[in-house]
Copies of this chain bind each other. A is one copy, B any other.
Amino acid sequence: MGERGAGQGAPASSGPSGPASSEATAGTVLAGYLHAQAAEFLRSLRLHRESGSDAEDATEASRLLRRSARRIAGTLHVYRPLTDVDWTDPLRAELLWLSDTLGREHAHAARLARLRGALHRLSGAEGPMGQTGAGASGARAAGRGGYGDGGGMTVGAARAGALLERQLTLARTRAHSAALQALGSSRFHAVADAAAVLASELPLDPAAHDLLAREALPCLAEQAHRRLTDAADALPLSVAGHPYNAEALTHGLAAVPAPDAPPAEGRQDAPWHQVRRLVRLRRYAQEVLDEHVASEAEPTLSVRLLGANQALDRHRDAAEAAAAASAAARTPRIAPATAYALGVLHADQRHEVEAARYAFGRIWQRLAVPTA
């Protein structure tokens, strides 16, 4: 990891190449983007070290660290043919490991907040999270009027909330320890060293040195787009496009063939999670392109990719929250009322999964047309 091919690096570039550089090489543009992200990575790491016991600062630093790690890894993935893959492939894998390890604590905290919000909402009070956009929420609050708002939770719902609180807080604490351990490991220090290299120099493939940015980069971004399109077209979008198709809960009460088999809902969700990853790669690919030619940038595309990404993030979050609710319901010796509330919660989150698919389908319709 610390080693790299000598003499193949592109020089550091301090910022966007600007519209004048139509003769810029692909290596220069890509390096410019990666230098900036690597610098961001190192800055976040410093922030994290300096945050000390301030949990909020540490959370924000960790978020920024994961953000740049994902962007570096994604960019190295899309523009892989331009880089020295002996050096970049291992770095990419290590960045994904890091982002995953650091992200778990946040994921458990966010899951708990989502489930707490849902329990609150299902008890007739508006949850802290607007689930369907500000417009719908506003209309909802106005339309509901006096239907016993704030009537309080059932005993089962309160107990379900306490159970989830215990289980997810425990998981979060474990993830926190694991993240701290990872940040102190020699494995992490090797990643940080590689990021320091990347902040000043990008090891390129020798054959890619003279490729023009305006030719090579859009071509590779287009390939990423095609992988995304192929995967999205394989999704059951015609079903998802019918509101209230009741598809996401189809396996809510399905028995698994063996105790260690994955839940059927997970199998149904997997292709959507895969598209989520491909949307993300496509977004990062676009960020590199936008860096290069700010004037030709297509803001609509970036905005739609972001929208698609957010819908699929919501899809994943709701799917994992639903799984957490049904896992909690398998806790031994819980009261029937608690189990009932967890069943309602599970179905509610699967409903959110379905809503996210519907939202993605609508965004995708508009995304897919201009490139067809």
Which residues does A use to contact B, with CB under 8 Å? 119, 121-124, 131-132, 135-136, 139-140, 143-145, 147-148, 151-157, 236, 238-239, 242-247, 249-257, 264, 267-268, 326, 329, 334-348, 351-352, 354-355, 358
Are B119 and A253 touching (Cβ within 8 A)?
Answer: yes
What are 12 of the A-B contact pairs (CB < 8 Å)? A124-B254, A140-B236, A140-B239, A144-B250, A153-B254, A246-B352, A249-B348, A253-B341, A253-B345, A339-B339, A343-B343, A346-B347
Complex Cα distance A162/B249, Å? 21
Are A243 and B246 touching (Cβ within 8 A)?
Answer: no
Are B253 and A136 touching (Cβ within 8 A)?
Answer: no
Q: Least Cβ distance of A123 to chain B in Å? A: 5
CB-CB under 8 A from A252, the residues of chain B are 122, 344, 348
Are A238 and B139 touching (Cβ within 8 A)?
Answer: yes
* A-side interface mostly: helix
Q: Least Cβ distance of A288 to chain B in Å? A: 35
Q: Least Cβ distance of A147 to chain B in Å? A: 5
Q: What residue of chain B has the Cβ atom nearest to residue A349's Cβ?
A: B347
Contact of A123 among B253, B346, B355 (CB under 8 A): B253
Q: What residue of chain B has the Cβ atom nearest to residue A333's Cβ?
A: B336
Q: What residue of chain B has the Cβ atom nearest to residue A243's Cβ?
A: B243
Q: What residue of chain B has the Cβ atom nearest to residue A355's Cβ?
A: B244
CB-CB under 8 A from A247, the residues of chain B are 140, 143-144
Are A243 and B244 touching (Cβ within 8 A)?
Answer: yes
Are A244 and B351 touching (Cβ within 8 A)?
Answer: yes
Q: Least Cβ distance of A351 to chain B in Å? A: 6
